Amino acid sequence: MNVLEKIVNSVTNFSKSERKVAEVILANPQTTIHSSIAALAKMADVSEPTVNRFCRRLDTKGFPDFKLHLAQSLANGTPYVNRHVEEEDGPEAYTAKIFESTMAALDSARHNVDINTINRAVDVLTQAKKISFFGLGASASVAHDAQNKFFRFNVPVVCFDDIVMQRMSAINSAEGDVVVCISHTGRTKNLCDIASIARENDATVIGVTAYDSPLARECTLVLSLDVPEDTDMYMPMASRVAQLVLIDILATGFTLRRGSKFRENLKKVKDSLRGSRFEKKDNPA
């Protein structure tokens, strides 16, 4: 356990003077690691040996060792845990929490995702005659993003966030076409229909969705991303970031499969943007 947490947890075991020391340390931990035992003792208005005893009570070898542990706690604190945003949080607090819980979500997704399925999805995508990305609501922007990526590969790509268009597109799909359905919950009725229609027309359907959901059952291949979502906010946040990263992975797999010759192509696409941009001073031509 982290020293800082340890201090908080064992406050009850401390004596009066030790508590004074704890308070000073918790109030300015960053200062503490750069202070001598004498300075800290003075700040807490106790004697030096009291500080030393305080350190020992926390199972450290002494004051310098304690500072080491404290420094480590401060370096990363609780690395990437899913901390929920609370009513009273100020900007620093909620910013940190959202970054951290997003990272925690990615970390979790990384361990849960099935590499094998990813590989098969890449297989299917590289051989596709046409690729369609469908999503609704929050997942629509993920579908758009996917389109923006795969479009660069010079493959026919479509993306619809309109049920009617999706439906028409699905009905027109044929063998060799790949339909990617994106939905965090996997319970959106309309999207399940789309998946079902596409399959009936012999398209391969990849679901970026929850394993064991109605949508998953309609798909040929399911890419599941078990992400713990903070439902307090009533908005999909971390889950959608994980979906995007998954798209990045599929796109990367795609380019790698196609080989280096193909990557020249990507460079061309990127270079084509130059005309629409202001040049960087240090990057003429």
Partner DNA sequence: GCACATTTGTAATTTTATTACAATAAACTT
Partner DNA sequence: AAGTTTATTGTAATAAAATTACAAATGTGC
Residues that bind DNA (CB under 7 A): 15-18, 36-38, 45-50, 52-53, 55, 61-65, 67
The one among 5, 59, 110, 162 contacting its own copies by CB under 8 A: 110
Is 192 a binder of its own copies (CB under 8 A)? yes
Nearer to DNA, 7 or 55 (CB): 55
Nearer to its own copies, 23 or 103 (CB): 103
Residue 196 interaction partner, one of its own copies, DNA, none, beta carbon < 5-8 Å per kind? none
Is 23 a binder of its own copies (CB under 8 A)? no
Mode of pairing for the β-strands spanning 204-209 and 157-160 = unpaired
Map residue 10 onto helix, strand or coil.
Answer: coil
Least Å from the CB of residue 226 to its own copies: 14
> Binding-site residue total for its own copies (CB under 8 A)?
82
Residue 142 interaction partner, one of DNA, its own copies, none, beta carbon < 5-8 Å per kind? its own copies
The token duo for 58 is 């926390």
Is 140 a binder of its own copies (CB under 8 A)? yes
Least Å from the CB of residue 90 to its own copies: 8
Is 11 a binder of its own copies (CB under 8 A)? no
Q: Are 30 and 74 in contact (CB under 8 A)?
A: yes
Q: Are 184 and 246 in contact (CB under 8 A)?
A: no
Is 60 a binder of its own copies (CB under 8 A)? no
Contacts of 11-14 with CB under 8 Å at 24 or more apart are 13/57, 14/54, 14/57
Nearer to DNA, 14 or 211 (CB): 14
Least Å from the CB of residue 178 to its own copies: 18
